[in-house]
Structures are given as structure tokens and as C-alpha cells.
Amino acid sequence: MTKALLLIDIQNGFCPGGNLPVSDGDEVVPVANRLMASGLYDIIVASQDWHPSNHGSFASQHRGKQPFDMGELSGQPQVMWPDHCIQDSVDAEFHPDLATDRIDFVQRKGENPKVDSYSAFRDNDQTALTGLADWLKAKGVTELDVMGLATDYCVKFSALDAVDMLPGVTVHLIADGCRGIDPQGVEEAIEAMRQAGVEIIDSSRIGL
Ligand code: VGL
Ligand code: ZN
């Protein structure tokens, strides 16, 4: 058995004080640190939302759009986000309390201005792959535990893609290690992950 932990977007931008803050987003940091220190994981990977300043998911790039409006990007429906996680900004850095020295591999995403990339595995149009699935396969990963921000966007699409792109790998969602943007969206996201075969667990159960 080879166990990997996938930390999704635990960045300043998604924590209180950031540009796209998730309520209590910083509360996932101690959960991540505890799991990383547990010795239960062979491999620890983190994703990092990493946008150019002209990214097409930003409302600022669309005349007349306000953050959280619906809009379009390359012909597809797209939530118009506030400018967030711009490359090399403090907003894009991992939360300062995250024990980043324990991370083996950082997967950046969202660099193409013409398409958003919620999943750590591929762009939203499912065309371009990040390479993370092949990286995890090459390491022989058999179990993948996913947690981070935000439950209803990047965590959800990463977990769904993990099930789809890593056949035979057991995928867990560590529910208490996640926080979401919209409460209703969080409920729907957890149900969608469950339906897809993701096992929803609590961090207290890991290693028991
Ligand atoms: C995310 C919206 C836009 C996330 C990233 O990390 O969940 N959400 N970019
Ligand atoms: Zn983003």
C-alpha cells in the first residue's frame, strides 16, 4: 500500500484576509499539519492555484461583470471570481503556518488565462492535463486522501478526477480538513463525491 495525501489550495487567497476567502479556511491548516506529521503518508502533494493577472476567470477581465456573477470563458459558463492567487503574489503563497517543508511535490494549476482549472488533475474543459495523475501513478499510489479548499470547487473536482483518472486507487475525502464557499454547494459537492465512489471520512479515523 502506498498512501498519498493531496492538499488542495491551502493558500492565503482562500483564507481569511485573502482575495477569495473561504469562511474559516485557515482552520484546515492544523488538520493538514497533524496529518503530515503523523507518519501515515508515503507521499505528500499540494496543489497551488497560480493565475496570471489577466486570467479569464476574473470578473475584472470582463466588462460589466462583478465578482460572483455568472459569465462565460471560452464559450463555457464560468463564475466570475475576484482577482485571486496571482502568480508570485502573497495571495498565492501557501498559508504561512502550513508545514510546507513536508510537501514532496507542488502541482500548480490555472496558468492558462483562457480556461479555469479547479481540479489539480486537469483544466475544466478536461483537455489539458496537469500531469499529477501520471506522477502519482509512477509513485505506485494506491490510496489518496484529499482535503483543503474549497470543498465545493477545487476539492470536489480534484476528488472526482482522482476517481476517474486513477483507476484502482481508493480515494478518501477528509471532511473536517475542508471548508467551502457556499453551504448548499458544499452539501451537493459531498453528495456528488460520495456518489462517484469517494469515501467521506474524518481525520480522527485515519490510521485507526
Ligand atoms: C478555487 C475558485 C477559483 C478553489 C480556485 O481553490 O476552490 N475556487 N479558484
Ligand atoms: Zn482560481
For residues 174-203, average pLDDT: 98
C-alpha cell at 23: 469562511
Residue 109 designated active-site: yes
Output the CA 94–ligand 1 centroid distance in Å. Answer: 14
User: Is beta strand 199-201 parallel, antiparallel or unpaired with respect to 3-8?
Assistant: unpaired
Measured from the alpha carbon of residue 55, the closest ligand is: 2
Long-range (24+ apart) CB contacts under 8 A made by 14-21 are 14/49, 14/84, 14/85, 14/149, 14/150, 15/95, 15/149, 18/84, 18/91, 19/82, 19/83, 19/84, 19/85, 19/91, 20/81, 20/82, 20/84, 20/85
Q: Is the separation of the CB atoms in 190 and 176 below 8 Å?
A: no
Residues with CB under 6 A from ligand 1: 9, 14, 49, 81, 118, 149-150, 153-154
Ligand 1 atom 4: the closest Cα is on which residue? 154
Q: State how far the Cα of 132 lies from the Cα of 130, in Å rounded to an integer.
A: 6
Candidates 9, 26, 91, 116; catalytic one: 9
| 9-24 tens-digit pLDDT | 999 999 999 999 999 9
Task: Name the residue among 101, 106, 110, 105 with its Cα closest to residue 20.
Answer: 110
pLDDT of residue 138: 98
Candidates 154, 156, 161, 178; catalytic one: 154
Per-residue pLDDT at 208 exceeds 90: no
CATH of 3-50+85-205, one of 3.30.200.20, 3.40.50.11810, 3.40.50.300, 3.40.50.850: 3.40.50.850
C-alpha cell at 161: 478526477
The residue assigned the cell 456528488 is 192
pLDDT of residue 58: 98
pLDDT of residue 181: 97
Is the C-alpha dihedral spanning 193, 198, 199, 201 positive or negative? negative
- Indicate the domain borders of the chain: 3-50+85-205
pLDDT averaged over the chain? 97
pLDDT > 90 fraction of the chain, expressed in percent and rounded: 97
The model's confidence at residue 89, banded by pLDDT at 50, 70 and 90, is: very high
pLDDT of residue 207: 79
